[in-house]
Structure 1
Amino acid sequence: MEDWVLRALARWPNVPALFGWLALDRRGRWLIRGEPISRPQILDTISRNYGADEYGRWYFQNGPQRGYVRLDTAPYVLWTCEGGEGLQIHTGQRVRHPTRAFLDEEGSILLLTEYGPAALPDNELDWVLPRLDQAGVPVDEDQLAAALALPSGQATALTLHLPEANLPLERLDRARAPKLLGFVRDPQPRAGEQFAAADSPEP
């Protein structure tokens, strides 16, 4: 968090949190009440003051007020770095220490990174497919279909080759990802928690 945010929190520690205003879509776009945020200054501020609480609810700390974020997929979205030599999260940091890789029932890839869980959007799949193999052989449609047919929680025969690590792919259904990886897709107020009322954004 930036210093001005920490100073504001120290001065006004009990400002009610916002729920239902902010969202992060599957392409890594910030939305406010369903509308994309486009101003670079606002996007940079959100990215620098984005974090998670002890319950796995992700939020933007806007001065003394916390705005919880509804996640379409995961807390971070992966983009290819310039030149295509690696991946970065949507807030701009390069991924250098991925530790696990997952394949959901729709064929989407989720990585556990040093920043938290991060999903690869569908417009980046052309980058990842050539980096998948089975026993050293490039993956074909039948092998991918066999991996997708496995139950959630099982290891596939596929390996994802990244510049930083070679990661075996595990099957993980989308609905089971938040519990396993420790995040909340649709944050809600907890019992006794102060919050400011807001209408839910459009999906």
Structure 2
Amino acid sequence: MDDIVKAAIKKWPNVPHCHGWLGLDARGDWYLRDEPTQRSGPFPQAKGSRVTHGKLKDFIARNYEHDAQGQWFFQNGPQRVYVWLEAAPWVIGVMADAAVPGGWRLETHTGMPVAQVQATYLDEDGRLYLQTEHGLGVVRSQDMVAAAEAMESLGWAPEEVQGRDLVQRHGVVLNPQPAAA
């Protein structure tokens, strides 16, 4: 977490949390969801505006975390902005890379390298999930051909699962809600 964010939390510790305003799709893109977008439907059917500004994406990535309940959020200064996840908290890119042991480079949507794949899963929609040292991630749809080749060369044998059951099993909340008053 950025030092400036930590300082803002100390200065303003009681800023209300924000829900429904930020989404992460299964391609690893962040979406800002204003009130009209939120009224028009749930994420990802009503996505909102894709975040394209590089420095903003980097800021979100550096301050992206989860709480003890498995709810993922972006700490925006003193305000916690909970993220609506389409599939998983991490979106993983799979790229062939002869310079890497095993021949495959894996990386989260926030730019963190993935060094270990502990388990693989395939859901009812054909999405491939990886359990890594960072937690549960879904492979980007545009990387599925590479992922199929990696599965064969690395000996991954995905367990067939229901996507909703898998995220529950891993303690992930896809759509965080405000605490009941």
> TM-score under structure 2 normalisation?
0.84
Q: How does 1:62-77 map to 2 (within 5 A)?
A: 62-77=76-91
**Unaligned residue ranges in structure 2 (runs of 5+):** 34-47, 98-102
Count of matched residue positions in the alignment of Structure 1 and Structure 2: 162
Work out the CA distance in 1 between the residues paired with 2:151 and 2:7: 47
Residues 132 and 114 (structure 1 numbering): CA distance in 2 closer, same or farther, change over 3 Å? closer
How many percent of aligned residue pairs carry the same amino acid? 38
List 4+ stretches of structure 1 deviating above 3 A: 81-84
Correspondence for 1:93 among 112, 127, 141: 112
CA contact (8 A) 1:59 1:67 kept: yes
Does the alignment pair 1:3 with 2:3?
A: yes
User: 2:158 maps to which residue?
Assistant: 169
Work out the CA distance in 2 between the residues paired with 1:25 and 1:131: 23
> TM-score under structure 1 normalisation?
0.75
Does the alignment pair 1:19 with 2:8?
A: no
Residues 111 and 28 (structure 1 numbering): CA distance in 2 closer, same or farther, change over 3 Å? same
- Offset at 1:130? 2.1
Work out the CA distance in 1 between the residues paired with 2:30 and 2:96: 21
- Offset at 1:132? 3.2
- Amino acid across the alignment from 1:87: L
**Unaligned residue ranges in structure 1 (runs of 5+):** 134-159, 193-203
User: 1:49 maps to which residue?
Assistant: 63
- Amino acid across the alignment from 1:25: D
CA contact (8 A) 1:5 1:64 kept: yes
- Offset at 1:170? 1.1
Higher mean C-alpha deviation, range 47-56 or range 166-175:
166-175
- Offset at 1:81? 4.4
Work out the CA distance in 2 between the residues paired with 1:24 and 1:13: 26
